[in-house]
Amino acid sequence: MAISPKKLRNDVYSYSYQNNSNTPLVITVLASLIERTLVRNERTNRLMRGSKIRVFDCDETPDMSIQSYLERIFKYTKAGPSVYVVAYVYIDRFCRSQPEFRISGRNVHRLLITTIMVASKYVEDMNYRNSYYARVGGITTKEINNLELNFLFLMNFKMHVNVSVFENYCCHLEREVSIGGGYHIEKSLRCAEELKLQQREERRSCNRVARLTL
C-alpha cells in the first residue's frame, strides 16, 4: 500500500524533535524529486554544455546518494520537515532565476547543504553554526561560508516564504507521494537493506560450515 499524502502533512506540522524520531517522509520525497531532475539534466547535458554557474561544483562527484546525504543532514542537525520544504522552495527559485544553472552530480550535494542551512536559519529559532553544517556536509567552513554568500547574492536575498507559497509546495510534494514517488524509493531502500542482511547471514553460515569441516 502506498503512503498517504496526509502522512507528509502530518510530518511537516506535527513533527517530534525527540532523538528517536523517524526520518521525515519529506526527505524521501525530496530525494525522489532531485534524483529525477538529475536524470533529466544528464540527458540534456549530453546535447548541451551543461551548467555555466560553477559556484557549487566540486572536483569529484561525491560517493553518496542524495537520500543518504539528506538522511545524514537530518541525523546530525534534526532540522524539522518544514526546513526541507523551504529548502525545496529555494532550490526551485534558484533554478528559475538562474536558467544557466543545472543540477548535476557535481553540485547537488553542496546545493542541498547550503539551501538546508539557509532554510534552517529562516525557519528555526535556534541553529548550529556554519562550521557545524560544514562538517555535516563534508566540506570546510570556508567553503560553506562562500557557498552561502554566493547563494544569497544570486538569489538577491529573496528568502521570504509566505504561507501560501509554503502550502503550494507542500501540495506539490504531496502529489509526488500520491503517485508513489516517495513510496517506491522507500521500498527500494528496504529491499536493498534486506538483501544486505541476507548476504550477511549467508556469509556467516558459510563461515560456520567452514569451521565445522576443519
Identify the CATH number of the domain in which residue 90 sits. Answer: 1.10.472.10
**61, part of any domain:** yes
Residue by residue, pLDDT tens for the chain (214 residues) are 344 445 666 666 555 454 455 788 889 889 989 998 888 887 776 555 555 678 898 887 888 999 999 999 999 998 988 999 999 999 999 999 998 898 999 999 999 999 999 999 999 888 999 999 999 999 999 999 999 999 999 999 999 999 899 988 988 888 876 665 444 444 444 444 455 556 566 666 666 655 655 5
| Number of domain units in the chain | 1
**173, part of any domain:** yes
Q: Residue 162 is part of which domain span?
A: 5-182
Q: How many Cβ atoms sit within 10 Å of the Cβ of residue 82?
A: 22
**70, part of any domain:** yes
**214, part of any domain:** no
> Which burial class, exposed, middle or buried, applies to 79 when counting CB atoms under 10 A from its CB (0-12, 13-18, 19+)?
buried
pTM above the 0.85 mark?
Answer: no
